[in-house]
Structure 1
Amino acid sequence: MNPKQGGPCQGIRNAIPEMEKQGVENEVVCFDEPNSEYLGQDTFKIHALGASKTPWKYNKNLIPWLIDNFNQYDIVIVHALWLYHSHATIKALLSLKKQNMKAPKVFIMPHGMLDPYFQNAKERKLKALRNEVYWKLVESKVINQANGVLFTCEEELLLARTTFPKYQPKKEINVGYGIQPPPSRAVKMKEAFTHTVPQWNGKPYLLFLSRIHPKKGVDLLIRSYLRLEKEMEGLPQLIIAGPENHEYGKEMQALAAASPNILFSGMLSGDAKWGAFYESEAFVLPSHQENFGIAVVEALACKKPVLISNKVNIWREIAKGQGGIVKDDTEDQTYGMLREWLSINLLERNKMSRAAERVYKDYFTIAQAANKFINEVKNA
C-alpha cells in the first residue's frame, strides 16, 4: 500500500470510502511491514503481513492467513497479476473448496496487466517469453478458476482477449473506475507547488505527472518539446513530475538538459500535487500503455484538457467528450499533438477545459464507479 507504487493502491484508497457510504465494509491484506510510515493513516483496516521476498514477491504468511480468514469475507478482489499473491489466493481458495469449507467469491482485477503491449514491446522480449511460460503454468489457472475478471474500462476488457491462448475466464466484467473529487483550488496549493518547484516562472505550463518509465512516452514528450522550441517562441514550460532518481530518470534528465524550460520536480503529493494540476494549462501523457490513468482523470477533474495517446485505455471517453486531444504514441504524433494545443486560441481552450470536467463527471466519479462495482460484483 506504499503510495509510491502508484495506480492500484491509490485506486483502492479512492474506492473504499465511497463503498463504505453504501454499507460495504472493506479490508486490505498486503505485503508491507506493519510499521511502515504510510500505514495507519487510512480509515479502513489493513493487514500487513510483512515484506515479500524474491522477485516473485513470495510471502510465506499469505496462504495460512487466507485459509484462516477467508470465511470472514463475502468477496475477495485480487489486484494485479504475475506475482505470488494471485497464485496463492487461488491455491488457498481451492484448498478450502476441497475441504467443503465456506469460501468467498474471488475476482481478479488485472489493472491492465493482460494488455498485449507487454507481450509485443521490443524491449520486453525476454519478459514476454517468461510471461508465456508463466501463463501456461500458473496465471491461466488463476484467471480461469476465479469467479470472474474485473476491468476498469471496455477497452481493457477487449484487449485482454487478444493476449494469451486458453484465456477462458468464467466472467468478464467492466466495473469501471473513478476518483474522489479533487480538493477545491486554494492559495496554499500554489504556494506548496512553488516551494517544491522554485524554477517555475509563475505562468501556466504543460504537466507530465506519472512514473518516469519507458512505457509512459516521456522521451517522446521531451523530444517533441525540444523540436517545438526550435520553431516557436514563448513556449510554456514543461514540468515533469515523478520519481526521477533512477537510471531511466537520469537518462530523461540528460535528454532534457538542452532546454532550461524542462523542469523535473520529483514526485509530488498533497497540496503540491494539486497545485501542479491547477496551475497547469494542460496535462500530457503520450503513453505506450496506460490501463486507466488516475492522473489523467485527476487532470480532467481539475478542468484541465488532457493531451494523450490512444494507448491510454480511456481515450474513447475523452475523445467523445472533447476533453482533450488524442493521437498515436509516436514522436511525430506527440509533436503534432503539442503543436495543435499550442495553436488553439483562448476561447477554444476554455471550451475544452469545461469539456474536460464534464468528461470526469459523466464517466469517472468515484460515486458512479463504486455503485457500478458493487452492483456488478454482487450479481456476478
Structure 2
Amino acid sequence: MQNQLKILHYIPVYAPAWQFGGPVLSVSQLCEGLAALGHQVEVFTSNAGLNNQSELPLNQPVIRNGVKVTYFQQEPGIGIHCPGMEEAVTARAREFDIIHVTGVWQRTSGAACKAAKNQGVPYVVSPRGALGPYSWQQKTAKKILYYLWQERFNVTNADGIHYTSKQELQECRWLKLPGKSFIVPNGLNTEFWQPALEAAKAWRKSQNLNEDDFILLNIGRLHHKKGLDLLPQALAPLRHLKWRMVFVGGDDDGTKAKLQQHFQSANLSDRVIFLERCEPKTLPAIYSAANLFVLPSRHENFGNVVVESLACKCPVLISDKVGLHDEVAEGGVGWVRSRVASEWTEAIGELIQFSCKMQTLKFKSRAWIKNIFSIDKTSMDTKNYYIRIRDNHCA
C-alpha cells in the first residue's frame, strides 16, 4: 500500500477505560479508523481503570478492533506511573514512522517524546485542552514548574501539535510552539452513534419518564469544569413547565452533592435524575430519548458529547466556552449562550414551549455530523497530516 504508515499511539489510558472521559473514546476510534485505512497501528498504554478486566493480558499485545494494543502494568506512584510503557517506547521508538502522544501533564509522556527526539522519529502531541486557560488556572504554580522542567521539552520538540477545534488552537497561540499546528476534530462512528428510537422509548419507560416529558440531558463526568451549577439557577424559573433533568456520569470532585443541594434548595429535586456512567453502547438510546442536550461548561477543548448527541438527532444548547461552539453556531445545528443563567432560562423556556423549532435541526444535524466528523474523514485527514509531518521531518 502506498504511503502505508507504522503508527504508535502513546496514551496513559485507553479503551475500555471509559471512566477517564472523552479522549479514551476519541483516540480509540481514531486508531481503529487508521487501521481500517490499512495502516499498522499500535498502542502503548497502561491498565489504569481496568483492574476488573481479569481477561486482559498485561505487558503483551492484544488485538482490539483491528488495533494492536499493549496494556502495561500500572505501578504505585503519583499520577499514572507505568515504567513498562516508558521502557517499551524507549526500546522500540525507531520501529515507527510517527509517534502520536496524547495528553500533557502526564508522567508517562516524557519518555515517548525523549525517545522520539533522540532516535530521530517524528512525533505529534495532542494537548486535548490541557494547555488551555482553565487548565493553567488549576494548580498554577505546580504547572509552571512542571512545564519548565518537562512539558516545555515535550511540546517544543514535537513535529506537530494536534488541536481538535479552532478554539483550542487560538488558546495555545501564546505558547508559540514551533511544531506544525493542525486541526482535526474528534471523529465518531456514525453507524454506532445514530438514533435508536425503540430503545429510547424503552429507556424512558425504565426511568418512569412520560412520552410528553421534555427531557434535558447531560452526559459526562460531574466536575466543576462542566459548569453544571448554572443549571439549577437556569431551571428554577421554569418550574411551571413540564421538564425533567437527567445527568449521566460519575462524580469526580463532589459536584453531584452540590448539584443535589442546589436543586433541593430550588424545590426541584423531584425533577432531577442522577444516573451512574454507563458503557458507550447504551448511550445512543439515552441521547435519542432526550429533547435537548445541555453543556454549560466553563471550558471544553472539543466536546465529544456534542457530536454524539447531534449524531443521534438530539439538539444541543452549549456555552460559548465549549470548543465546538463556533462550529455549532456556524453550522446552525444548535444554540450557543454565554454562561449567564438568565440566558439559559430564556433559551430553554422557549424551546420547551416551541419545540417545533428543533425539528428542522434534528434532520440537519446528522447530515452535518456525517459530513465533518465521521471517523472515515477524520482518520483520512489525520493520516494526511502524518505523511506531511513525516516527509518534512525527513527532508
Match for residue 268 of structure 1 among 278, 285, 308? 278
**Conserved? CA contact 1:107–1:149, under 8 Å:** yes
- Give the TM-score of the pair, scaled to structure 1: 0.88
Q: Which residue of 1 aligns with 2:40?
A: 25
Q: Distance in 1 between matches of 2:25 and 2:162?
A: 17
Among the aligned pairs, what percent are the same residue? Answer: 23
Q: Superposition pairs for residues 131-170 of structure 1, below 5 Å?
A: 131-162=143-174, 164=175, 167-170=176-179
Secondary structure, in 3 states, of the residue corresponding to 2:376?
helix
Deviation of residue 322 (structure 1)? Answer: 1.2
Contact 1:309–1:327 under 8 Å retained in 2: yes
How far 1:242 sits from its partner (Å)? 0.8
1:284 aligns with 2:281: no
Contact between 1:209 and 1:242, CA under 8 Å: does it hold in 2? yes
* Aligned counterpart in structure 2 of residue 106 of structure 1, from 107, 123, 129: 123
Q: Residue 184 of structure 1: CA displacement?
A: 4.9
Q: CA RMSD in A?
A: 2.2
Of 95, 113, 118, the residue aligned with 1:90 is 113
Alignment match, 1:100: none
Q: Displacement, 1:245? A: 7.9
Q: CA deviation at 1:246?
A: 5.8
TM superposition shift of 1:300: 0.7
User: Is the CA contact 1:193–1:271 (under 8 Å) kept in the aligned structure 2?
Assistant: no
* Corresponding residue number in structure 1 for 2:202: 191
Matched, 1:42 2:64: yes
Q: Does 1:238 align with 2:248?
A: no
The Cα offsets for residues 238-276 of structure 1, whole Å up to 9 and x where unpaired, read as: 111111486222222222233101111221334532211
- The count of aligned residue pairs is 360
Is the 8 Å Cα contact of residues 193 and 273 (structure 1) preserved in structure 2? no
In structure 1, C-alpha distance between the alignment counterparts of 2:186 and 2:79, rounded to whole Å: 27
Q: Distance in 1 between matches of 2:180 and 2:332?
A: 32
Distance 1:135 1:184, change over 3 A: same
Query: 2: CA distance between counterparts of 1:345 and 1:138?
Result: 51
Name the structure where strand makes up a greater proportion of residues.
2
Change (3 A) 1:339 1:189: closer
Contact 2:18 2:24 in 1 (8 A): yes
The residue type paired with residue 42 of structure 1 is R
**Aligned residues of 2:90 and 2:112 also touching (Cα < 8 A):** no
Q: Is the 1:192–1:272 Cα contact (8 Å) retained in structure 2? A: no
Q: 1:325 aligns with which of 312, 328, 335?
A: 335
Give the Å deviation of 1:32: 0.8
Structure 1 residues 193 and 275: CA distance shift in structure 2, 3 A? farther
The Cα offsets for residues 310-345 of structure 1, whole Å up to 9 and x where unpaired, read as 111111111011111101123233333323423434
Q: In 2 relative to 1, CA 184–55 (structure 1 residues): closer, same or farther, beyond 3 Å?
A: same
TM superposition shift of 1:91: 2.4
Whole-angstrom distance in 1 between the partners of 2:253 and 2:167:
31
Could you say what secondary structure the match of 1:84 adopts?
Answer: coil
Q: Does 1:15 align with 2:30?
A: yes
SS in 2 for 1:137: helix
Aligned counterpart, 1:313: 323
Structure 1 unaligned regions, length at least 5: 98-102
Query: What CA deviation, in whole Å up to 9, does each residue of 1:335-361 have, x standing for no partner?
Result: 333234234341x22012223223312
Distance 1:49 1:109, change over 3 A: same
Once the two structures are TM-superposed, the CA of residue 161 in structure 1 deviates from its matched residue by: 1.4
Contact 2:195 2:288 in 1 (8 A): no
CA deviation string 1:185-240 (max 9, x = no partner): 25245435643xx34334341111111101101111122112321xxx23321111
- C-alpha distance after superposition, 1:3-56 (max 9, x if no partner): 111111100222222222211121211121686529578322221111143334
Structure 2 residue runs of 5 or longer lacking an equivalent are 1-13, 57-61, 390-395
